[in-house]
Amino acid sequence: MDKIGRFGEFGGQYVPETVMTAVHELEEAYNKYKDDPDFNKELQSLYHDYANRPSMLYYAEKMTKDLGGAKVYIKREDLNHTGAHKINNVLGQILLAKKMGKRRVIAETGAGQHGVATATVCALMGLECEVYMGKTDMERQSLNVYRMNLLGAKVTGVNSGTSTLKDAINEAFRDWCSNIDTTFYCIGSVMGPHPYPTMVRDFQKVISAEIKSQLMEKEGKLPDAVFACVGGGSNAMGAFYNFIDDKSVRLIGAEAAGRGIDTPDHAATVAKGSVGIFHGMKSLFLQNEYGQIDPVYSISAGLDYPGVGPEHAYLNSIGRAEYVDITDKEAVHAFEYLSKTEGIIPAIESSHAVAAALKIIPNMDKKQIAVINLSGRGDKDVYSIARYRGVNINEE
């Protein structure tokens, strides 16, 4: 990082004045607690006893044989409590919110995984919780809406713009501006104004720390490639972070190409975006020549975002990480492939990482090792995949 809150030219703190004091308070609190032994002890015990960490690193033998390339390991973030990597970040942030004396937590959510994780930890810690979610996403992820309600959170539908993740973030920002004294904004990805991209990455980097030690134990070496899907990019930053200095490890992010990156219906920010300033950060965004943010599309509500975290923009700019585009069709195929081959139903988001692995692993050497970060489980997606396949599984 070049200067505070920057990754090369990316990052920064582009927020309204009303939020500046809160952003500074958060920065101060985070700096105070991040190396505090008591805070970390508490967080570690929550990771272990509540969230079921460490997550397993599973050798996918059938998949390895089938693909005939590198040895495939799957990092089972899908087995965490609440079913995705999102809980890692939420436990960290809400523990921090508690220390800061905040009574109310707000969050945005796309697929609903971050919303569910936030609602879960708020229930655990006795905090009021309101989750903003685009109306379109509420329809395609109705199961998660019900889960959040069950956990005692209020889910507020957002009808503006494209009624998806970006609009939910806009509305959460507006709420934060209105309730700044009482409210902690728990951002779900490595995005937003500093310190969020750094803080969220720090709460997620446990993923790559575990991969490293687990693989060292099993194979006695580093992986040759790490695959992760990228929307805002938190599971990918978590899976990449501890390998950034290990130059032999290929870091491969899978972006959502929707109906194809040559159509308007995709969310492939690194492939098709340009540098802009939005949602508090300088990064890559899908936008027109006048800086209006493009409507984006993906079958996956969690990757349906027109931007990417600033550290990814940076890793891309220096060529340290590579980003590939995966279409809906390829992701759905990977969803079904992993279900049938390994008996693991992946989230449609994580299926993008699996799809990238299916393309690249066959070309790798048999002596090499690839790790797929399986960021979430796919129970929530079964309805929409069935619908995609033209199968009606409604009970009525």
> What are the catalytic residues?
86, 108, 375
Report the nearest approach of other proteins to the CB of residue 290 (Å).
Answer: 5
Stretch that binds other proteins, among 66-74, 84-92, 112-120, 173-181 (CB under 8 A): 173-181
Is residue 178 close enough to count as binding other proteins by CB under 8 A?
A: yes
Is residue 136 close enough to count as binding other proteins by CB under 8 A?
A: no
Peptide bond into 54 cis (omega under 30): yes
Q: Which residues pair with 75 in a beta bridge?
A: 57, 373
CB nearer to other proteins: pick between 12 and 83 = 12
Q: What would you report as the CA-atom Rg of the chain, rounded to the nearest whole angstrom? A: 19
Is residue 3 close enough to count as binding other proteins by CB under 8 A?
A: no
Instruction: Using CB under 8 A, count the residues that bind other proteins.
Output: 37
Q: What is the rounded CA–CA span in Å between residue 113 and residue 303?
A: 12
245-269 burial, b at 16+ Cβ within 10 Å, e below that, comes to eeeebbbbbbbbbbeebeeebbbbb
**How, if at all, do strands 183-185 and 104-109 pair?**
parallel
- x/- mask, other proteins, residues 274-293, rule CB under 8 A, reads xxxxxxx----x-x-xxxxx
Q: What is the rounded CA–CA span in Å between residue 339 and residue 327?
A: 18
143-162: contacts with other proteins (CB under 8 A): 160-161
Backbone angles phi, psi at 273, to 5 degrees: -85, 175
DSSP secondary structure letters along 178-231: HSTTTEEE---SS-SSTTHHHHHHHHHTHHHHHHHHHHHHHHSS--SEEEEE-S
Interface residue with other proteins, options 174, 259, 320, 387 (CB under 8 A): 174
Report the nearest approach of other proteins to the CB of residue 254 (Å).
Answer: 25
CB nearer to other proteins: pick between 109 and 162 = 162
42-61: contacts with other proteins (CB under 8 A): none
Report the nearest approach of other proteins to the CB of residue 265 (Å).
Answer: 17
**How, if at all, do strands 10-14 and 280-285 pair?**
antiparallel
Report the nearest approach of other proteins to the CB of residue 126 (Å).
Answer: 25
Is residue 188 close enough to count as binding other proteins by CB under 8 A?
A: no
Is residue 316 close enough to count as binding other proteins by CB under 8 A?
A: no
**Close Cβ partners of 18 (under 8 Å, ≥ 6 residues apart):** 177, 180
Report the nearest approach of other proteins to the CB of residue 180 (Å).
Answer: 6
CB nearer to other proteins: pick between 64 and 162 = 162
Stretch that binds other proteins, among 15-23, 137-145, 236-244, 369-377 (CB under 8 A): 15-23
Stretch that binds other proteins, among 59-67, 99-107, 112-120, 166-174 (CB under 8 A): 166-174
Report the nearest approach of other proteins to the CB of residue 279 (Å).
Answer: 8
258-277: contacts with other proteins (CB under 8 A): 274-277
CB nearer to other proteins: pick between 216 and 277 = 277
Q: At 36, is the secondary structure helix, strand, or coil? A: coil
Interface residue with other proteins, options 75, 85, 166, 212 (CB under 8 A): 166
Q: What is the rounded CA–CA span in Å between residue 195 and residue 24?
A: 8
Strand order of the β-sheet with 154-158 is 154-158, 128-134, 104-109, 183-185
Residue with tokens 């005939």: 68
Interface residue with other proteins, options 100, 123, 125, 177 (CB under 8 A): 177
Report the nearest approach of other proteins to the CB of residue 220 (Å).
Answer: 47
Task: Give Cα 318 distance to the centre of its chain.
Answer: 22
- Which residue blocks in 16-164 are alpha helix, DSSP H? 17-33, 37-45, 61-67, 86-99, 113-125, 135-140, 142-150
Is residue 97 close enough to count as binding other proteins by CB under 8 A?
A: no
Is residue 248 close enough to count as binding other proteins by CB under 8 A?
A: no
**How, if at all, do strands 225-229 and 250-258 pair?**
parallel
Instruction: Tell me which residues touch other proteins (CB under 8 A).
Output: 12-22, 160-161, 166-167, 170, 173-174, 177-181, 274-280, 285, 287, 289-293
